[in-house]
């Protein structure tokens, strides 16, 4: 099942080049009084909602995907967990490009560990990326994103994929420089998620997916998730050994080689096997 959020917070089932409006299925979600839970209600209740979504799809309005404004497939992630240099080819290019490493030592992921991005940086593909400071180098990073489906704490590697609700494409936009990652990668619009979420059963093995990114049609990144240094199941087990992963938390698994700058006016095309493709416009932020 491919689920999108679109227009005015509507829920859609993606079928081919159409969306079927299944927003009515959300009525089954529990009501909450203040304070609302710090996780995503749709993702937490996805298994319960699934029959209602399929039922709603039988009579839901159909609209062309092309005309829809696609929002982040997860509305309220509690956190964005991200893996630094998790492909050998990106490790190698970062070692040799001082504009990427900025005088710092590129440390292996197994040593440096995972980092967090601010949830306020998240947008859907139709929003686009707003470059905060065009004088600096702002890079694209295409990444496979796993969306956590149930609370995970001290999860075993062999069971870790059972905790994944689904996957989407992520852009971990990055301003290069000497600052902390949590600052350089948390700028508003610097986490693009989309175009929709494909449930885990649609993807099967997440370690055999081609990912590719072009800018204005020019090939930049092309690799396969088979080359992840720390696999998705290992990332989940590792993260959960430090903190609880909650339904709706998103895990960005790292980018391969070919990262490079974008500027206002550019169009990023990011695609991953079985997940689809998203076109993301780049513009300057209003300050």
Neighbours of 132 (CB within 10 A): 17
Residue nearest to Mn ion (CB): 172
Instruction: Give the Cα-Cα-Cα angle 249, 104, 89 (nearest 5 degrees).
Output: 65
Tokens of 83: 């893996």
Interacting residue ranges for Mn ion, rule: CB under 5 A:
141, 172, 255
HSE-up (13 A, CA, CB side) for residue 112: 17
Measured from the CB atom, the residue of 14 and 209 that comes closer to Mn ion is 209
In degrees and rounded to multiples of 5, residue 15 shows phi and psi of: -135, 110
Measured from the CB atom, the residue of 65 and 94 that comes closer to Mn ion is 94
Least distance in Å: CB of 142 to Mn ion? Answer: 9
Tokens of 11: 């829920």
Measured from the CB atom, the residue of 65 and 109 that comes closer to Mn ion is 109
Measured from the CB atom, the residue of 6 and 87 that comes closer to Mn ion is 87
Measured from the CB atom, the residue of 172 and 266 that comes closer to Mn ion is 172
Which residues touch 4 (CB under 8 Å, ≥6 apart)? 11, 12, 13, 14, 19, 68, 70, 71, 73, 195, 196, 197
Measured from the CB atom, the residue of 1 and 94 that comes closer to Mn ion is 94
Least distance in Å: CB of 287 to Mn ion? Answer: 25
Least distance in Å: CB of 173 to Mn ion? Answer: 9
How many whole angstroms separate alpha carbon 48 and alpha carbon 54? 11
How many whole angstroms separate alpha carbon 38 and alpha carbon 120? 14
Least distance in Å: CB of 141 to Mn ion? Answer: 4
Least distance in Å: CB of 157 to Mn ion? Answer: 22
């Amino acid at each position: 099942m491919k689920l999108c959020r679109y227009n005015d917070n509507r829920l859609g089932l993606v079928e081919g080049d159409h969306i079927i409006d299944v927003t009515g299925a959300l009525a089954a979600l529990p009501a909450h009084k203040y304070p609302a839970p710090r996780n995503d209600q749709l993702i937490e209740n996805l298994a319960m909602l699934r029959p209602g979504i399929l039922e709603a799809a039988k009579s839901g309005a159909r609209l062309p995907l092309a005309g829809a404004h696609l929002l982040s497939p997860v509305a309220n992630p509690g956190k964005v967990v991200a893996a630094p240099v998790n492909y050998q080819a990106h490790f190698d290019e970062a070692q040799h490009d001082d504009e990427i490493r900025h005088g710092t030592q590129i440390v292996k992921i197994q040593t440096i560990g995972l980092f967090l991005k601010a949830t306020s940086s998240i947008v859907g593909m139709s929003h686009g990326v707003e470059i905060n400071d065009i004088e600096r180098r702002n890079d694209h990073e295409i990444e496979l994103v796993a969306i956590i489906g149930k609370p995970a704490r001290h999860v075993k590697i062999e069971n870790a994929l059972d905790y994944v609700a689904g996957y989407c494409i992520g852009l971990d936009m990055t301003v290069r420089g000497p600052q902390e990652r949590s600052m350089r990668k948390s700028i508003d619009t610097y986490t693009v998620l989309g175009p929709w979420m494909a449930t885990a059963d649609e993807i099967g093995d997440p370690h055999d997916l081609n990912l590719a990114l072009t800018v204005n049609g020019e090939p930049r990144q092309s690799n396969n998730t088979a080359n992840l240094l720390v696999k998705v199941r290992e990332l989940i087990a590792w993260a959960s050994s430090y903190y609880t992963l909650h339904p709706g938390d998103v895990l960005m698994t790292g980018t391969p080689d070919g990262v490079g700058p974008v500027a206002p006016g550019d169009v990023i095309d990011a695609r991953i096997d079985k997940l689809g493709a998203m076109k993301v416009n780049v513009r300057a932020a209003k300050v």
